[in-house]
Amino acid sequence: MAKRDYYEVLGVPKTATDAEIKSAYRKKAKECHPDLNQNDKTAEARFKELNEANEVLSDPDKRAKYDQFGFDGPNMQGFGGAGGGAGDFSGFSGFGDFGNIFDSIFGGGMGGSARREGPEQGDDLRHDIAITFEEAANGCQKTFEFIRNENCETCGGSGAKPGTSAQTCPMCHGTGQVRQSGGFMVTVRTCPTCHGEGKIVKDKCTACNGSGRVRKRRTATVKVPAGIDDGQTIVMRGQGEPGAHGGPSGDLYVRVTVRPHKLFRRDGTTLLLDLPITISQAALGADLEVPTLKQTVKYRIPEGTQNDTEFRLKGYGLPNLRGGGTGDLLVRVKVEVPKKLNEKQKELLRQFENSTSGKEYEGKKSFVDKLKGMFP
């Protein structure tokens, strides 16, 4: 399967700014993030494709090579089959639009458009919490602490010492990029002096050491919905790191781990329980006390109940996370054979065995009949 154009993958035009590329990547990555699309191979493939496209287009140097050479550019594989003279461009797989190339060479975009002045969304964060099986079934609220980078209050996020301001970068003259021409080719890369910001800070803020950000410990409370399963993720919008240049904050992804229960297991909204019973209860029938997550309920098993027989209690399972009622409790009986018997008990069992004709055991009778059929 042929690789898709990176701009097509992100859904942006070839003239997209760094901020537009970053915003498009974040939006699409959230839609197909593995944490939100578990066991979805298609979403996983899309997420990998997005990461590959973003890795190239978010790097000015790799992006320039990709624009000029196509998929061979980022890996420095050369010109492919150029072969011909200056007018033959059939071997250049990524040229596409000549207007963009000549614009980049003869003045288009040489001003301050490359500078990172547009709003940029803040980084997303992830935090793990652990809850009990009962909390997952009933829903709960969890308060936790986490650390994130925030704008420095001393300098207002500028990184400059109070009373001073950042200055235009002398290397790129405020564009955030430096270009180097070599004949027909133009190489564009992020300015190494200002790292693409277009400005430099000479007198640094002592509180943040010129970064404009400080690490803060924060407290958040997440509402865990009833019916959540182990490994699922809750998104807390706007609780990630603050954006740059007036951009929105990122999100906080809270991944939930559900601790195992001593008695119960789950299969979606169905609650599973193995219930031990005695031989006499299985043979004679009995009124059983069946535990559930909320209370104990009575259930009558009939005479002759066999090992691994299952019965269902309607509405005693787990709530549907997306609404639509509650699942059931599926109980499987486990007939326990006693391991330690006194002599009186053994004698009683012998008397019982001697008093039977074999007709009392349907499975045994069927087995004997089949055995006779094998050896006429």
Q: Answer with the one of 15, 50, 79 that is the final residue of a domain.
A: 79
- Has residue 122 been placed in a domain? no
Q: Which pLDDT value is given to residue 112?
A: 40
CB 264 within 8 A of CB 173: no
Q: Which pLDDT value is given to residue 180?
A: 79
Residue 324: give its domain's CATH number. Answer: 2.60.260.20
- Has residue 100 been placed in a domain? no
Please state, in angstroms and rounded to a whole number, the distance separating the CA atoms of residues 304 and 239: 59
CB 117 within 8 A of CB 173: no
Q: Answer with the one of 79, 105, 134 that is the final residue of a domain.
A: 79
Structure tokens at 260: 């195992």
Looking at the chain, which runs of residues are DSSP E strands? Answer: 125-131, 140-151, 167-168, 177-182, 185-190, 199-200, 213-224, 233-236, 252-258, 264-267, 270-278, 286-291, 296-301, 310-313, 329-336
| Count of structural domains, the chain | 2
Q: Which pLDDT value is given to residue 80?
A: 35
- Has residue 307 been placed in a domain? yes
**HSE (CB half, 13 Å, CA atoms) of 285?**
5
Q: 52: which strand partners? A: none
Q: Answer with the one of 47, 79, 111 that is the final residue of a domain.
A: 79
Which domain, by its residues, includes 33? 1-79
- Has residue 171 been placed in a domain? no
Q: Which residues contact 215 (CB under 8 A, 6 or more apart)?
A: 147, 148, 149, 150
- Has residue 305 been placed in a domain? yes
Q: Which pLDDT value is given to residue 92?
A: 30
Q: Which pLDDT value is given to residue 373?
A: 56
- Has residue 91 been placed in a domain? no
- Has residue 256 been placed in a domain? no
Task: Show contacts of 293-299: CB within 8 Å, 24+ apart.
Answer: 293/133, 293/134, 293/137, 293/138, 293/264, 299/331
**pTM for the structure as a whole:** 0.61
- Has residue 23 been placed in a domain? yes
Q: Which pLDDT value is given to residue 133?
A: 97
Residue 74: give its domain's CATH number. Answer: 1.10.287.110
Q: Which pLDDT value is given to residue 366?
A: 56
Identify the H or E element spanning 243.
none
Number of Cβ within a 10 Å radius of residue 10: 24
Cα-flanking dihedrals φ and ψ of residue 270, to 5°? -90, 130
Tens digit of each residue's pLDDT, the chain (376 residues): 567 889 889 998 888 888 889 888 888 888 888 777 777 888 888 888 998 999 899 888 788 777 765 665 444 343 333 333 333 333 333 333 333 433 333 333 433 444 555 788 889 999 999 999 999 999 999 999 999 999 999 998 888 999 998 899 998 988 888 887 766 677 888 898 888 888 888 899 999 998 888 999 999 999 999 999 999 999 999 999 998 878 899 999 999 999 999 999 999 999 999 999 999 999 999 999 999 999 999 999 999 999 999 999 999 999 998 777 999 999 999 999 999 999 999 999 999 888 887 776 766 555 455 555 555 5
Identify the H or E element spanning 268.
none
